[in-house]
Homo-oligomer: A and B are copies of this chain.
Amino acid sequence: MKRIESLTNQWVKETKKLHKKKYRDITNQYILEGEHSVQEALENNGLIDCVITTDDGLLKYKSILSKVSEEQLVVVTDGILKQLSELPTPQEIIAIMKKSEELTGFGEKILVLDHVQDPGNVGTMIRTADAAGFDQVILSEGCVDVYQSKVQRALQGSQFHVSIVTNVALDKWIEQAKMRHILTVATALDDTAMSFKELQLTESIAIIMGNEGQGVSSDVLLHVDKKVYIPMKGQAESLNVAVAAGIVMFHF
């Protein structure tokens, strides 16, 4: 067990840098906050570098922390914890994680996110994919960084249940998916789209959701097998992308 009490400690300074994507990319590390997320990491063989807590936290999270090795445990002051956390009122348990290697193979039921920017939406969609029994999530170039703390919080452990591949060039990916007989389906609002309810269930499917404002890129739309829309009865013009993804994924 390591104990750190100085705010100017070098390790504190280095760790704080993980709030920025640049440093997460360099170090291959990221921050995971809160009881539930840390527990999921422990239970699912997440790659934990260390677990940070306070003296209060040692008592409060006794049962979780009993699964953490002595060498991995770091006890800090409330002041340091507040600096490392990105929450206004942090829980007194934070893990520093190693990014796990991304498996580049193809899943069977795949959610594909095309330039989705909102961290909450990305987190919620990955969590929904997990709940719907999807086994892989593909994030295109230009999506928000999945290791950002807001995404990680929204994930609530789903990052350890589904395979996540980031920074994917979608045009090439779709070509390869089609060669593997994976049905590629994009949500779209044009004349050639069909209601998602008419989609036949298939073994392998990739559902592509687009950016909050622009929808799925026109390049991607050109190459997919099917375009689907969600029939709306009311006067709302569109659905939140995470809600739309949930409706389509739970259809399967």
Please tell me if the beta carbons of A156 and B124 are within 8 angstroms of each other in the complex. no
Pick from B131, B154, B245: contact of A234, CB below 8 A: B131
Q: Max chain B CB contacts within 10 Å: which of A239, A244, A245?
A: A239
Determine whether A115 belongs to the interface, using a CB cutoff of 8 Å to chain B.
no
Are A236's CB and B130's CB within 8 A?
yes
Min CB distance A160 to B, Å, is: 8
> Could you say which of B131, B157, B240 contacts A232, with CB atoms under 8 Å apart?
B131
* Residue from the list B124, B161, B250 in contact with A230, Cβ < 8 A: B250
Q: Write the nearest CB–CB distance from A131 to chain B, whole angstroms.
A: 4
* Chain A interface size range: 20 to 34
When chains A and B are docked, how far (Å) is the Cα of A237 from the Cα of B244? 20
Residues of chain B within 8 A of A250, CB atoms compared:
230, 247
CA distance A232 to B127 in the complex (A): 11
Q: Which chain B positions have C-beta within 8 A of A239?
A: 127-128, 131, 246
Q: Given that A120-B120, A230-B250 are contacting pairs, would A128 and B237 also be in contact in the complex, using a CB cutoff of 8 Å?
A: no
Name the B residues within 8 Å of A247 (CB-CB): 246-247, 250
Which residue of B127, B133, B243 contacts A246 across the interface (Cβ within 8 Å)? B243
Residue pair B162, A234 in contact (C-beta under 8 Å) = yes
Is A73 part of the binding interface, using a Cβ–Cβ cutoff of 8 Å?
no
Contacts of A242 in B (CB 8 A): 240, 242-243
Counting CB contacts under 8 A, is A147 at the interface?
no
Say if the beta carbon of A235 comes within 8 Å of chain B: yes
Q: A132-B234, A134-B234 are in contact. Are A240 and B127 (CB under 8 A)?
A: yes
**Shortest distance from the beta carbon of A88 to any chain B beta carbon, whole Å:** 15
- Min CB gap A35→B, angstroms: 13
Residues of A at under 8 Å CB distance from B?
120, 124, 127-134, 154, 156-158, 161-162, 230, 232-240, 242-247, 250
Question: Beyond the given A158-B235, A243-B246, could you list 14 further A-B residue pairs with CB under 8 A, ordered by the A residue number?
Answer: A131-B230, A131-B236, A133-B232, A154-B240, A157-B236, A158-B234, A161-B235, A242-B243, A243-B243, A244-B246, A246-B246, A246-B247, A247-B247, A247-B250
27 contacts between A and B (CB under 8 A): A120-B120, A124-B240, A124-B243, A127-B236, A127-B239, A128-B239, A128-B243, A130-B236, A131-B233, A131-B236, A132-B232, A133-B233, A154-B240, A156-B237, A156-B238, A157-B236, A157-B237, A161-B234, A161-B235, A161-B236, A162-B234, A240-B242, A243-B243, A243-B246, A246-B246, A246-B247, A247-B247
